[in-house]
Structure 1
Amino acid sequence: MVCVNRRIKTLAWGAIPLVALASLVSIDHIPGTDISLTVPYAAEGPGPTFNTLGEVDGVEVVEITGTETDEVEGNLNMTTVSVRTGMTLSQALSRWLFTDDTIVPIEQIFPPGRSPEEIRESNTMAFAASEASATIAAMNFLNLPVEIEVYDVVEDSAAAGILEPGDAVSSVNGTAVTTPGEVQELIRGMAPGDEVTITYRRGGEEKTATVPLGAHPQDDSVPLLGISMTSVPVSDTEVTYNLEDIGGPSAGLMFSLAVVDKLSPGPLNGGRFVAGSGTIAEDGSVGPIGGITHKVRAAEEAGAEIFLAPTANCAEAVTADYGDMTILQVDTLEHAIEQMDAYNSGGGYQTCD
C-alpha cells in the first residue's frame, strides 16, 4: 500500500509534464503510420461469473433434455479471468496503479511461435474438452452410462470426409472405448502414417473405417486423427453447454456440479450462492487452475458465500481479498459435494488455510 501511494504522489507532483505526455502515451500507433505503440504486457483481473444453474440470454447455461430434471436453487457460479491486451503505456500504468490487476509479459498470454488465432482455437478446444469431462464425471457419479460422440472434425485432417459430427465412436482398433480420454490414449500409442480402425454408429447403423493417421502441425512425431470428442449419455438424456466466447478448461468442476444438481434430488448447494473453479477429469478428480486470486475476487464481488478451490490452489487462493466468503478446498467432484453438504449441515468441512 505504501509503494502504491508513493507512485500516485509522484505522478501527482509531476502532473504538468504528464499532461503534455498524455497525448503520446494514450495513442496506440504513431499518427500517419501503422507503427504500434502498444506495450508488450497484458493485464489480468477478475472476469464475469456465470451461474451454471441459471440462464444467459434466455438460454440455460447447462441445458438437459430427454429426461426429468430436478428444481434447482441458489447459484453454482463458474468464474473467469479477464485479459486485456493491446494496451498503451498510459493504459498499462493506469491498471497497475489503480486496480488489483496483474501485469504480465504478453508472452504468458500469446507464447512465441503461436498466433492469437491458434491460442483462441486451443482455448476453445480445451473448453469443449472440459465440457465432455464434466459430463462424464457427472454421469459416473450418478452411475449413468455414457458414449463418445464426435463433436467436430478438423478441416483437411485424417478424419475429414470419413467421420462426421454426431458419429458415436465405440471402438478403436477393436478395443471398446467409452470416454474421449481412452481414444486419445490409444491414438497416442501409434505413429503418424499408421492406420487406425474406428468403429462408430451413424444414424442407427454401425460402420467401420480405416484411417491413416496424420501428424500434429506443431510436432510431426505426434499422431493426429483430427477430431474433437464429447461424451453424451447412452440414454435419451442430452447435456448441452451454452456459453460462448470463453476458453480454457477451468469451468469443468462447476459444469459437472450443475449436471449432478439437475439430475439428482435436492439442491447440492443448500440454496446458497456458491462459486468456484477447477478442471475436472473423467474420473472426477479436480485439478488446479490459473488466475485463482482474480477468480476469488470475482466471486466475492458477485456476492458468493462459498468458493470451491482446488486443493493445489489453496495457498494462493487465500492471498486474495475474499472478505467473509468461505473458501473450501476440493479434490474430486464427490469431495466438492461432500464439502458443500458439510457446510450446509454444520459438519466438519475443510477450508483453505
Structure 2
Amino acid sequence: MPRRTATMLASTLILIALICAGVVIKVPYSEMSPGPTVNTLGKVAGDPVLQITGHQTYKTSGNLNMTTVRVTGADYSMNLVAALYGWLAHDSVVVPHETLYPDGKTEEQSTQENAEEFSQSQESAKVAALTELGIPVTSYVVVSTVVKDSPAQGKLHAGDIIEDVDGTAVEEPEDVAKLVTRHKPGEDVTFTVIPAKTAAAAEKAGKKPEGSEKVTITTRKASAKENRAIVGIQAGTDHTFPFDIDIKLADVGGPSAGLMFALGIVDKLTPGQLTGGKFIAGTGTIDDDGKVGPIGGINMKLVGARDAGARYFLTPDDNCKAAASDTPDGLTLIRVKTIADAKKSLDKLRTGDTAGLPSCSAG
C-alpha cells in the first residue's frame, strides 16, 4: 500500500476513533438555548394571556414579549461531542450541570421550584402594575408554609393571616421571626390570626377578612447547635386585588417574566397603546415595589427575541453588561431598573425619541 494512502487511512481511522470516543465520553455539563417568546398582550391556545375582569380595559397593539430559555433536563447526560458543539455554537451555551441543578436537585424539584417562582412573579407583577397606576392593593402577612413535625403543625395553616404576635402588630413577614425569637425555646408565643378558610371566603365575597383567633404555640430550639426559638413557619405576603387579573400561561417557570407581565397589565388598564405598535421584548424579575431584578440566560433570551421579530429589548440593569457584550444584530437594548423606567422608555419609543433611551454598555 502506498505510504500516502496508508497515512490517509490511518488518519481517517484515528478521526473515527476520536469521534466515537467523544460520543461515549460523558461530561458534567448541560445546555441552554433560546426558548419560545410569548406576547403578553396576545393569546395562547385561543385564550388571552392577560384577562382582566371587573375594571375597564383598553385596546392594545404591538408586542410586549416575555422571553424564555430552554434547558436540558437533570437526567440528561451530555457527551464530549455535544459539549464541543455547544461551546462553538452561537445560539446555545454549555454550562456546568450544577449551575442548573445545584446540590443534586432533581428535575422534579427544579420544576416545582420554578412553578412556585412563576406564581410569585405573577402576584408581584399585579401589585407592581396596580401600584404604578395608583390603584390600591391590600396586603397581608400570612403563613406561607408550615414545617412538618414542627410546633406549629396543626395549629397554624398556610394562608392564615397573621395580625399580631404577642399583641405586637406585624407589618412585614420579617417581623414574625423577630417577635418569635424574643422568646427562649420552650416558652409560649401567641399568634392572632384569621384562618385561611375565613380569609378566602371574605376575599371571594369582596369583603375585608374578619374573625381573628388566638393561637398559642410552645417554641423549640432551631437545632441542636442553634439555641434560637422557632415555631416552624415561613411567613410571606398575600394580596387582595380590587378586581380580577388572571394570567394564563402553561409550561413556563421561574420569575423572569415579572416585568413583562406588569407592563402588559399597565397597557391593558390605560388608554392608548403603550408600545405604539412596535415589537418589544424583554425580561426581568419584579418585586411588589416595581424594582426590576436580574435573570439568567440573558444572551439566549436576546437571540430568542431577535428571532421572534423584536427590535427592542428591555434589559435589567444588572444584566446590561453581559447583554451588551453579545447583542444580536437588529436588536436595541434598553436598560431598566424599575417598572417606571420601562414605562418612560416605552413612552419615548412611542413618540420617536429614541435618542433619549437609556442604553446598555459592555464596559
Same fold (TM over 0.5): yes
Q: Aligned equivalents of 1:196 and 1:63: distance in 2?
A: 41
Tell me, what secondary structure is at the counterpart of 1:329? strand
- TM superposition shift of 1:245: 3.2
Flag structure 1 segments of 5+ consecutive residues without an equivalent. Answer: 1-12, 28-36
Tell me, what secondary structure is at the counterpart of 2:120? helix
Q: What TM-score do you get using the length of structure 2 for normalisation?
A: 0.76
Decide which of 154, 161, 176 is 1:169's aligned counterpart.
161
Q: Aligned equivalents of 1:302 and 1:163: distance in 2?
A: 47
Tell me, what secondary structure is at the counterpart of 2:342? helix
Tell me, what secondary structure is at the counterpart of 1:206? coil
**What is the number of equivalent residue pairs in this alignment?**
323
Decide which of 169, 191, 194 is 1:197's aligned counterpart.
191
Aligned to 1:187: 176
Q: Say if 1:225 and 1:318 are closer, same or farther in 2 by CA, change over 3 A.
A: same
Tell me, what secondary structure is at the counterpart of 2:211? strand
Q: Aligned equivalents of 1:215 and 1:296: distance in 2?
A: 48
Aligned to 1:225: 233
Aligned to 2:63: 75
Instruction: Indicate the structure (1 or 2) with the bigger Cα radius of gyration.
Output: 2
Deviations 1:214-269 (A, max 9, x none): 9999x986965257654341x2x122222233332211111111111111112211
Q: Please tell me the root mean square deviation across aligned C-alpha atoms, in Å.
A: 3.4
Aligned to 1:84: 72
Deviations 1:171-210 (A, max 9, x none): 3435264xxxx22x22342449774625332423533353
Task: Tell me, yes or no, if the aligned pair for 1:250 and 1:277 is still in contact at 8 Å.
Answer: yes
Deviations 1:42-95 (A, max 9, x none): 112222111111222223222222222221211111111221241233333332
User: What is the one-letter code of the residue matched to 2:169?
Assistant: T
Q: Aligned equivalents of 1:83 and 1:230: distance in 2?
A: 31
Task: Tell me, yes or no, if the aligned pair for 1:154 and 1:227 is still in contact at 8 Å.
Answer: no
Aligned to 2:205: none
Q: What TM-score do you get using the length of structure 1 for normalisation?
A: 0.78
Decide which of 204, 215, 222 is 1:210's aligned counterpart.
215
Q: Say if 1:15 and 1:160 are closer, same or farther in 2 by CA, change over 3 A.
A: farther
- TM superposition shift of 1:304: 0.5
Q: Say if 1:315 and 1:240 are closer, same or farther in 2 by CA, change over 3 A.
A: same
- TM superposition shift of 1:148: 4.2
How does 1:92-171 map onto structure 2 within 5 Å?
Answer: 92-112=83-103, 114-148=105-139, 156=148, 169=161, 171=163
User: What is the one-letter code of the residue matched to 1:64?
Assistant: I
Aligned to 1:308: 314
- TM superposition shift of 1:333: 0.5
User: Does 1:345 pair with 2:351?
Assistant: yes
Q: Which moved more, 1:268-277 or 1:17-26?
A: 17-26
- TM superposition shift of 1:328: 0.7
Aligned to 2:273: 267
Task: Tell me, yes or no, if the aligned pair for 2:34 and 2:91 is still in contact at 8 Å.
Answer: no
- TM superposition shift of 1:141: 0.9
Q: Say if 1:322 and 1:207 are closer, same or farther in 2 by CA, change over 3 A.
A: same
Task: Tell me, yes or no, if the aligned pair for 1:127 and 1:248 is still in contact at 8 Å.
Answer: yes
How does 1:257-336 map onto structure 2 within 5 Å?
Answer: 257-336=263-342
Q: Say if 1:294 and 1:17 are closer, same or farther in 2 by CA, change over 3 A.
A: same
Q: Aligned equivalents of 1:313 and 1:319: distance in 2?
A: 10
Q: Say if 1:151 and 1:222 are closer, same or farther in 2 by CA, change over 3 A.
A: closer
Q: Aligned equivalents of 2:22 and 2:281: distance in 1?
A: 38
User: What is the one-letter code of the residue matched to 1:60?
Assistant: P
Decide which of 51, 57, 66 is 2:54's aligned counterpart.
66
Q: Say if 1:97 and 1:65 are closer, same or farther in 2 by CA, change over 3 A.
A: same
Q: Say if 1:164 and 1:72 are closer, same or farther in 2 by CA, change over 3 A.
A: farther
Aligned-residue sequence identity (percent) comes to 36
Q: Aligned equivalents of 1:270 and 1:157: distance in 2?
A: 55
Task: Tell me, yes or no, if the aligned pair for 2:275 and 2:349 is still in contact at 8 Å.
Answer: no
Q: Say if 1:162 and 1:227 are closer, same or farther in 2 by CA, change over 3 A.
A: farther
Aligned to 1:3: none
Task: Tell me, yes or no, if the aligned pair for 2:281 and 2:305 is still in contact at 8 Å.
Answer: yes
Deviations 1:88-115 (A, max 9, x none): 3333333233443221111111112544
User: What is the one-letter code of the residue matched to 1:244?
Assistant: A
Q: Which moved more, 1:119-128 or 1:13-22?
A: 13-22
Deviations 1:284-317 (A, max 9, x none): 1112222211111111111112100112221111
Task: Tell me, yes or no, if the aligned pair for 1:124 and 1:246 is still in contact at 8 Å.
Answer: yes
User: Does 1:56 pair with 2:50?
Assistant: no
